[in-house]
Amino acid sequence: MFKNVFGSGFLVRTAHVVLTWIITLILFLYDTELRKQEETGQLLQPVLFVLLVLLSVLLYFAVSLMDPGFILSEENDLQFTLGVTEEQQDMIPPSTKSLRQRRCGHCLLQQPMRSKHCQTCQHCVRRYDHHCPWIENCVGERNHCWFVLYLAVQLLVLLWGLHITWTGFSYAPSWSLWLRSNGVLLTVCALLALLALIVLLLLGSHLYLISMNITTWEFMSRHRISYLKHCGADENPFDRGAARNLWGFFCEWGSVVWEQVYFREGNDPV
């Protein structure tokens, strides 16, 4: 389920964790709201902030090391895609075209619908969304929900950290003295603001795509994807309405046979 922590993304993960705790330490060392509360014995907010930072780090490692849905065995994955039981298999229209799967030109495995081969990870990934260099892992069927949760927690940490940094700026009679006394906090503030903006845009875009039940890869490359390129610009065969899409993504666990959704009654096979 989890990859080796000392794999190819070791330096990226180490840099992320070290930077996170260095910034957290700076917020406690300078004359910020956190330090004042700690000195006066008001430990509720400092403890909550540290726990939230710790949660974000744990989620980062979970998403980074989790199997995103690698297709490692053609036989097992093909059996699942066509349906484990006869009842499930009967849900797919008896068309050879509907059951046909694309064979990957890299790993030579048959790809279930919505799967894609990742050149970086060298594996096909079920319901492939994208490869994220930040976590040095693919975002796919098994870790996409956790990735969105991580983004939400990370955004809370960054916005709270930005507020704490703002409370630490001290007055100085001149700009040169102000920069000298607040230079470190100003750098931290700029870094947190930039990261918060990036995470906010990422979170917003993922929630928007999830509400339409479409992945980043499908959204960006639909004109090249065999099961989407014949659809209209506003047509999405996987869309079940925003509410059902969000419910299915966050509240329904387990893999989905996308062939069954694609060829459900009322959808014309493409």
- Greatest distance between any 2 Cα atoms in the chain: 80
Kindly tell me if the per-residue pLDDT of 260 is higher than 90. no
For residue 269, the model assigns a pLDDT of 44
Kindly tell me if the per-residue pLDDT of 10 is higher than 50. yes
Task: For residue 15, give both structure tokens.
Answer: 């840099």
For residue 246, the model assigns a pLDDT of 95
pTM, whole model, 2 decimals?
A: 0.85
Segment 154-181 shows an average pLDDT of: 92
d(CA 199, CA 187): 18
pLDDT tens per residue across span 22-64: 999 999 999 999 999 988 889 999 999 999 999 999 999 999 9
For residue 103, the model assigns a pLDDT of 82
Q: How far is CA 43 from CA 37, 48, 50, 53, in A?
A: 6, 8, 11, 15
Range 100-110 burial, b when 16+ CB lie within 10 A, else e: ebbebeeeebb
145 is catalytic: no
Residue 33 in contact with residue 170, Cβ under 8 Å? no
For residue 198, the model assigns a pLDDT of 97
The residue with greater pLDDT, 17 or 91, is: 17
Give me the residue spans of the domains in the chain: 1-69+142-259
User: Which of the residues 104, 107, 121, 132 is marked catalytic?
Assistant: 132
For residue 96, the model assigns a pLDDT of 38
Dihedral sign from CA coordinates of 223, 142, 258, 97: positive
Residue 10 in contact with residue 64, Cβ under 8 Å? no
Percent of the chain clearing pLDDT 90 (strictly above):
59
pLDDT tens per residue across span 94-152: 443 444 567 888 888 888 999 999 999 889 999 999 999 999 999 999 999 999 999 99
Task: For residue 268, give both structure tokens.
Answer: 């014309």
The residue with greater pLDDT, 191 or 94, is: 191
